[in-house]
Amino acid sequence: MSSNLSIMEFEEIFKKASEVEGLEGMTVNERQYVSGLMKVFDASKWRNRDLARTILKALNVDEPSINKILD
């Protein structure tokens, strides 16, 4: 876990992601939208890459896709 993330943020992100059924059948954007994490991701993509990466990991996005999204 990154030092830029508090325990509460980390737990809240994974809680929201775990509440979504059928993640594997969704696109990354659908996963973000349904979980309620899209706005947080969009805001953090350029300002807090650690947070953006954590959101994508919580949504079960594979590492090569995460790297493409964040590069």
Residues in the chain, how many? Answer: 71
Residue identified by tokens 């993330």 is 5
Mean pLDDT, residues 22-40? 95
What pTM value is reported for the model? 0.87
Burial bucket for residue 33 (CB in 10 Å: 0-12, 13-18, 19+) = middle
In the chain, % of residues over pLDDT 70? 89
Residue identified by tokens 């990154």 is 2
Residue identified by tokens 């994974």 is 14
d(CA 25, CA 46): 27
What is the pLDDT, as a whole number, of residue 41?
93
Q: How far is CA 69 from its chain centroid?
A: 11
What is the pLDDT, as a whole number, of residue 1?
46
